[in-house]
Amino acid sequence: MTALETGAGERVERWLEEGRRWSDAELGKAAEAFEGPGSDLADAMRHALLGGGKRLRPSLVKLFCEAAGGDSQAACAPAVAIEMIHTYSLVHDDLPCMDDDDMRRGLPTIHRKWDEATAVLAGDALLTEAFGVLSGCSQADVLCSILAQAAGLAGMVGGQALDLQVELDSLPEEKRLEAVELVHATKTAAMFSAACELGWVAGGGLGEGREASRAYGFELGMLFQATDDMIDVTGTADGLGKTPGKDAELSRPTLVAALGLEGARERAGERASAAREAADAVGLAEGHPANDLVGLLLARTH
Protein backbone atom coordinates (compact mmCIF):
# COMPACT_ATOMS: atom_id res chain seq x y z
CA MET A 1 0.00 0.00 0.00
CA THR A 2 1.36 3.42 -0.87
CA ALA A 3 0.22 7.03 -0.58
CA LEU A 4 1.75 7.70 -4.01
CA GLU A 5 -0.04 7.29 -7.29
CA THR A 6 1.92 4.95 -9.53
CA GLY A 7 3.41 7.55 -11.87
CA ALA A 8 4.77 9.62 -9.01
CA GLY A 9 6.17 6.52 -7.35
CA GLU A 10 8.18 5.52 -10.40
CA ARG A 11 9.28 9.10 -11.00
CA VAL A 12 10.62 9.65 -7.52
CA GLU A 13 12.33 6.27 -7.39
CA ARG A 14 14.09 7.20 -10.62
CA TRP A 15 15.04 10.59 -9.17
CA LEU A 16 16.35 8.96 -5.99
CA GLU A 17 18.37 6.47 -7.99
CA GLU A 18 19.90 9.23 -10.11
CA GLY A 19 20.64 11.29 -7.01
CA ARG A 20 22.24 8.31 -5.32
CA ARG A 21 24.46 7.61 -8.33
CA TRP A 22 25.48 11.24 -8.68
CA SER A 23 26.19 11.48 -4.94
CA ASP A 24 28.15 8.23 -4.89
CA ALA A 25 30.28 9.42 -7.79
CA GLU A 26 31.01 12.78 -6.14
CA LEU A 27 31.71 11.14 -2.79
CA GLY A 28 33.99 8.65 -4.50
CA LYS A 29 36.01 11.47 -6.04
CA ALA A 30 36.27 13.24 -2.69
CA ALA A 31 37.30 10.03 -0.94
CA GLU A 32 40.08 9.40 -3.45
CA ALA A 33 41.72 12.57 -2.19
CA PHE A 34 41.79 11.30 1.42
CA GLU A 35 45.44 11.12 2.30
CA GLY A 36 46.83 11.00 5.79
CA PRO A 37 50.09 9.98 7.44
CA GLY A 38 48.70 6.53 8.35
CA SER A 39 46.50 4.24 6.28
CA ASP A 40 43.82 2.98 8.67
CA LEU A 41 42.10 6.29 9.22
CA ALA A 42 41.60 7.10 5.54
CA ASP A 43 40.36 3.53 5.00
CA ALA A 44 37.89 3.85 7.85
CA MET A 45 36.64 7.18 6.48
CA ARG A 46 36.12 5.61 3.07
CA HIS A 47 34.39 2.60 4.63
CA ALA A 48 31.88 4.89 6.31
CA LEU A 49 31.47 7.41 3.51
CA LEU A 50 31.21 4.98 0.62
CA GLY A 51 29.24 2.27 2.41
CA GLY A 52 25.98 3.10 0.71
CA GLY A 53 23.01 4.97 2.05
CA LYS A 54 20.08 6.79 0.50
CA ARG A 55 22.12 9.96 -0.14
CA LEU A 56 19.01 12.03 0.49
CA ARG A 57 20.85 15.07 1.78
CA PRO A 58 23.29 15.46 -1.14
CA SER A 59 20.44 14.75 -3.57
CA LEU A 60 18.51 17.60 -1.95
CA VAL A 61 21.50 19.90 -2.33
CA LYS A 62 21.57 19.13 -6.06
CA LEU A 63 17.79 19.46 -6.39
CA PHE A 64 17.67 22.91 -4.83
CA CYS A 65 20.81 24.06 -6.60
CA GLU A 66 19.09 23.26 -9.89
CA ALA A 67 15.78 24.71 -8.68
CA ALA A 68 17.63 27.97 -8.07
CA GLY A 69 18.88 27.89 -11.64
CA GLY A 70 22.37 26.64 -10.87
CA ASP A 71 24.40 23.98 -12.61
CA SER A 72 24.79 20.63 -10.83
CA GLN A 73 28.53 21.30 -10.78
CA ALA A 74 27.92 24.05 -8.22
CA ALA A 75 26.20 21.51 -5.97
CA CYS A 76 29.13 19.07 -5.78
CA ALA A 77 31.10 20.53 -2.90
CA PRO A 78 28.15 21.32 -0.60
CA ALA A 79 26.61 17.93 -1.40
CA VAL A 80 29.82 16.13 -0.48
CA ALA A 81 30.25 18.27 2.62
CA ILE A 82 26.79 17.61 3.98
CA GLU A 83 27.06 13.85 3.43
CA MET A 84 30.45 13.87 5.17
CA ILE A 85 28.81 15.56 8.15
CA HIS A 86 25.91 13.14 8.10
CA THR A 87 28.31 10.20 7.87
CA TYR A 88 30.50 11.36 10.74
CA SER A 89 27.38 11.75 12.88
CA LEU A 90 26.43 8.14 12.17
CA VAL A 91 29.94 6.93 13.01
CA HIS A 92 29.89 8.69 16.37
CA ASP A 93 26.25 7.82 17.02
CA ASP A 94 27.05 4.13 16.56
CA LEU A 95 29.78 4.19 19.25
CA PRO A 96 29.35 1.95 22.30
CA CYS A 97 28.88 5.02 24.51
CA MET A 98 25.93 6.12 22.37
CA ASP A 99 23.73 3.73 20.35
CA ASP A 100 26.23 0.86 20.42
CA ASP A 101 25.31 -0.36 16.96
CA ASP A 102 27.23 -3.17 15.29
CA MET A 103 25.84 -2.62 11.81
CA ARG A 104 25.20 0.43 9.68
CA ARG A 105 23.94 0.45 6.11
CA GLY A 106 24.39 -3.34 6.16
CA LEU A 107 28.09 -3.13 7.02
CA PRO A 108 29.97 -3.48 10.30
CA THR A 109 30.40 -0.14 12.07
CA ILE A 110 33.92 1.33 12.27
CA HIS A 111 34.37 0.56 15.94
CA ARG A 112 33.53 -3.10 15.17
CA LYS A 113 35.70 -3.36 12.06
CA TRP A 114 38.59 -1.32 13.51
CA ASP A 115 38.29 0.02 17.04
CA GLU A 116 36.66 2.81 19.03
CA ALA A 117 39.57 5.23 18.73
CA THR A 118 39.54 4.87 14.95
CA ALA A 119 35.78 5.50 14.94
CA VAL A 120 36.14 8.68 17.00
CA LEU A 121 38.99 9.97 14.83
CA ALA A 122 37.43 8.99 11.49
CA GLY A 123 34.34 10.94 12.53
CA ASP A 124 36.46 13.91 13.54
CA ALA A 125 38.32 13.81 10.24
CA LEU A 126 35.13 13.58 8.15
CA LEU A 127 33.69 16.54 10.05
CA THR A 128 36.84 18.58 9.52
CA GLU A 129 37.25 17.70 5.86
CA ALA A 130 33.62 18.71 5.21
CA PHE A 131 34.56 22.29 5.95
CA GLY A 132 37.75 21.90 3.95
CA VAL A 133 35.66 20.90 0.95
CA LEU A 134 33.28 23.83 1.43
CA SER A 135 36.13 26.31 1.79
CA GLY A 136 36.87 25.92 -1.92
CA CYS A 137 33.41 27.13 -3.01
CA SER A 138 32.43 30.60 -4.02
CA GLN A 139 30.42 32.08 -1.15
CA ALA A 140 32.36 29.74 1.15
CA ASP A 141 31.65 32.05 4.08
CA VAL A 142 27.86 31.77 3.67
CA LEU A 143 27.97 28.03 3.04
CA CYS A 144 30.26 27.33 6.02
CA SER A 145 28.00 29.41 8.24
CA ILE A 146 24.88 27.50 7.15
CA LEU A 147 26.57 24.13 7.66
CA ALA A 148 28.13 24.99 11.03
CA GLN A 149 24.80 26.26 12.37
CA ALA A 150 22.92 23.18 11.23
CA ALA A 151 25.56 20.70 12.37
CA GLY A 152 26.64 22.34 15.63
CA LEU A 153 25.40 22.98 19.13
CA ALA A 154 22.09 24.57 18.11
CA GLY A 155 21.57 21.87 15.49
CA MET A 156 22.57 18.28 14.97
CA VAL A 157 25.09 17.77 17.77
CA GLY A 158 22.88 19.57 20.26
CA GLY A 159 20.02 17.37 19.13
CA GLN A 160 22.07 14.21 19.58
CA ALA A 161 22.91 15.25 23.12
CA LEU A 162 19.30 16.11 23.87
CA ASP A 163 18.23 12.79 22.42
CA LEU A 164 20.39 10.98 24.98
CA GLN A 165 19.30 13.29 27.79
CA VAL A 166 15.51 13.43 27.45
CA GLU A 167 13.62 11.00 29.66
CA LEU A 168 10.18 10.90 28.16
CA ASP A 169 8.71 8.82 30.98
CA SER A 170 9.53 11.52 33.50
CA LEU A 171 7.69 14.23 31.51
CA PRO A 172 3.96 14.90 31.82
CA GLU A 173 2.14 13.51 28.81
CA GLU A 174 1.31 16.92 27.32
CA LYS A 175 5.01 17.86 27.23
CA ARG A 176 6.22 14.76 25.41
CA LEU A 177 5.43 15.77 21.85
CA GLU A 178 7.25 19.08 22.27
CA ALA A 179 10.28 17.34 23.74
CA VAL A 180 10.43 14.77 20.95
CA GLU A 181 9.99 17.36 18.23
CA LEU A 182 12.76 19.52 19.65
CA VAL A 183 15.04 16.51 19.32
CA HIS A 184 13.83 15.90 15.77
CA ALA A 185 14.16 19.55 14.78
CA THR A 186 17.73 19.85 15.95
CA LYS A 187 19.05 16.34 15.38
CA THR A 188 17.57 15.74 11.93
CA ALA A 189 15.55 18.56 10.41
CA ALA A 190 18.32 21.14 10.81
CA MET A 191 20.51 19.18 8.39
CA PHE A 192 17.73 18.61 5.84
CA SER A 193 17.01 22.30 6.07
CA ALA A 194 20.68 23.10 5.51
CA ALA A 195 20.85 20.72 2.54
CA CYS A 196 18.12 22.63 0.72
CA GLU A 197 19.47 26.02 1.72
CA LEU A 198 23.03 25.11 0.72
CA GLY A 199 21.76 23.96 -2.65
CA TRP A 200 19.70 27.08 -3.16
CA VAL A 201 22.59 29.41 -2.25
CA ALA A 202 25.18 27.43 -4.24
CA GLY A 203 22.85 27.58 -7.23
CA GLY A 204 22.76 31.35 -7.05
CA GLY A 205 19.25 31.57 -5.61
CA LEU A 206 18.27 34.69 -3.72
CA GLY A 207 15.49 36.23 -1.66
CA GLU A 208 12.35 34.49 -0.46
CA GLY A 209 13.24 31.22 -2.13
CA ARG A 210 16.06 30.76 0.37
CA GLU A 211 13.75 30.87 3.37
CA ALA A 212 11.18 28.66 1.64
CA SER A 213 13.92 26.16 0.75
CA ARG A 214 14.94 26.04 4.40
CA ALA A 215 11.32 25.54 5.41
CA TYR A 216 10.83 22.73 2.92
CA GLY A 217 13.95 20.96 4.16
CA PHE A 218 12.88 21.41 7.75
CA GLU A 219 9.43 19.91 7.24
CA LEU A 220 10.85 17.10 5.12
CA GLY A 221 13.36 16.37 7.90
CA MET A 222 10.59 16.27 10.50
CA LEU A 223 8.65 13.91 8.23
CA PHE A 224 11.73 11.77 7.66
CA GLN A 225 12.43 11.45 11.37
CA ALA A 226 8.78 10.70 12.10
CA THR A 227 8.74 7.82 9.64
CA ASP A 228 12.19 6.72 10.86
CA ASP A 229 10.77 6.36 14.35
CA MET A 230 7.83 4.38 12.99
CA ILE A 231 10.04 2.09 10.92
CA ASP A 232 12.20 1.33 13.94
CA VAL A 233 9.06 -0.27 15.38
CA THR A 234 7.71 -1.88 12.22
CA GLY A 235 10.86 -2.61 10.17
CA THR A 236 13.30 -5.51 9.82
CA ALA A 237 17.11 -5.62 10.03
CA ASP A 238 17.36 -6.41 6.31
CA GLY A 239 15.26 -3.43 5.28
CA LEU A 240 16.96 -1.05 7.71
CA GLY A 241 20.57 -2.16 7.34
CA LYS A 242 20.76 -1.82 11.12
CA THR A 243 19.27 -3.47 14.17
CA PRO A 244 15.56 -2.62 14.61
CA GLY A 245 13.77 -2.02 17.90
CA LYS A 246 16.76 -0.22 19.45
CA ASP A 247 14.79 2.97 20.15
CA ALA A 248 12.24 1.29 22.40
CA GLU A 249 14.95 -0.87 23.99
CA LEU A 250 16.92 2.24 24.90
CA SER A 251 13.78 4.25 25.89
CA ARG A 252 14.61 6.86 23.27
CA PRO A 253 12.36 9.91 22.82
CA THR A 254 10.55 8.96 19.62
CA LEU A 255 7.34 10.20 18.10
CA VAL A 256 5.88 6.73 18.54
CA ALA A 257 6.69 6.82 22.26
CA ALA A 258 5.03 10.25 22.54
CA LEU A 259 1.94 9.69 20.36
CA GLY A 260 1.64 6.00 19.62
CA LEU A 261 1.98 4.61 16.09
CA GLU A 262 -1.32 6.05 14.84
CA GLY A 263 -0.67 9.47 16.35
CA ALA A 264 2.80 9.51 14.82
CA ARG A 265 1.29 8.67 11.43
CA GLU A 266 -1.10 11.63 11.69
CA ARG A 267 1.71 13.95 12.70
CA ALA A 268 3.74 12.76 9.72
CA GLY A 269 0.79 13.66 7.51
CA GLU A 270 0.78 17.22 8.88
CA ARG A 271 4.50 17.55 8.20
CA ALA A 272 3.94 16.31 4.65
CA SER A 273 1.34 19.03 4.05
CA ALA A 274 3.64 21.70 5.43
CA ALA A 275 6.47 20.47 3.21
CA ARG A 276 4.24 20.61 0.15
CA GLU A 277 3.24 24.20 1.00
CA ALA A 278 6.89 25.17 1.32
CA ALA A 279 7.71 23.52 -2.02
CA ASP A 280 4.90 25.58 -3.50
CA ALA A 281 6.42 28.74 -2.00
CA VAL A 282 9.75 27.89 -3.65
CA GLY A 283 7.83 27.62 -6.90
CA LEU A 284 8.19 23.86 -7.28
CA ALA A 285 5.11 22.47 -9.01
CA GLU A 286 3.20 19.25 -8.46
CA GLY A 287 5.25 16.52 -10.10
CA HIS A 288 8.60 18.06 -9.12
CA PRO A 289 10.79 15.58 -7.22
CA ALA A 290 10.52 17.77 -4.12
CA ASN A 291 6.81 17.03 -4.04
CA ASP A 292 7.09 13.40 -5.04
CA LEU A 293 9.63 12.89 -2.27
CA VAL A 294 7.14 14.05 0.32
CA GLY A 295 4.72 11.37 -0.88
CA LEU A 296 7.42 8.74 -0.86
CA LEU A 297 8.55 9.47 2.69
CA LEU A 298 4.96 9.51 3.85
CA ALA A 299 4.31 6.21 2.10
CA ARG A 300 7.11 4.50 3.96
CA THR A 301 5.02 4.75 7.11
CA HIS A 302 2.82 1.94 5.80
Q: Using CB under 8 A, which of 63, 68, 82, 125 touches its own copies?
A: 125
Total residues binding its own copies (CB under 8 A): 58
Between 107 and 140, CB nearer to its own copies:
140
- Please report the sign of the dihedral spanned by the C-alpha atoms of residue 57, residue 145, residue 159, residue 277: negative
Strand partners, 143: none
Interface with its own copies, residue 108, by CB under 8 A:
no
Please measure the distance between the N-terminal and C-terminal CA atoms of the chain and give it in whole angstroms: 7
Decide whether 44 or 259 has the Cβ nearer to its own copies. 44
Which residues from 223-262 bind its own copies, rule CB under 8 A? none
Q: Which is nearer to its own copies, 40 or 280 (CB)?
A: 40
Q: Interface with its own copies includes 186 (CB under 8 A)?
A: yes
Q: Which of 17, 28, 135, 283 binds its own copies (CB under 8 A)?
A: 135
Residue 168 binds its own copies, judged by CB under 8 A: no
177's CB contacts (< 8 A; 6+ apart) are 255, 258, 259, 267
Q: Which position among 25, 98, 206, 237 is part of the footprint of its own copies (CB under 8 A)? A: 98
**Residues 294, 16 contacting (CB under 8 angstroms):** no
Among 1, 6, 32, 37, binds its own copies (CB under 8 A): 37
DSSP letter at 115?
-
Q: Is the Cβ of residue 83 or residue 292 nearer to its own copies in the bound state?
A: 83
Residues with Cβ within 8 Å of 122's Cβ and at least 6 positions away in sequence, in order, are 41, 44, 45, 48, 88, 91, 110, 114
Which residues does 121 contact at the CB level (< 8 Å), separation at least 6? 41
By the rule CB under 8 A, 71 interacts with its own copies: no
**Sequence-ordered strand ranges (E) for the chain:** 103-104, 107-108
**Min. distance of Cβ 15 from its own copies in angstroms?**
30
DSSP label of 112? H
What residues are paired with 107 via a beta bridge? 104
Helical axes 190-202 vs 56-67, angle rounded to 10°: 40
> Which stretch, 18-26, 92-100, 223-231, 255-263, contacts its own copies (CB under 8 A)?
92-100
Chain contacts with its own copies (rule: CB under 8 A): 34-38, 40-42, 45, 88-89, 92, 95, 97-98, 115-118, 120-121, 123-125, 127-129, 131-132, 134-137, 140-142, 144-145, 147-149, 151-154, 157-162, 164-166, 182-183, 185-186
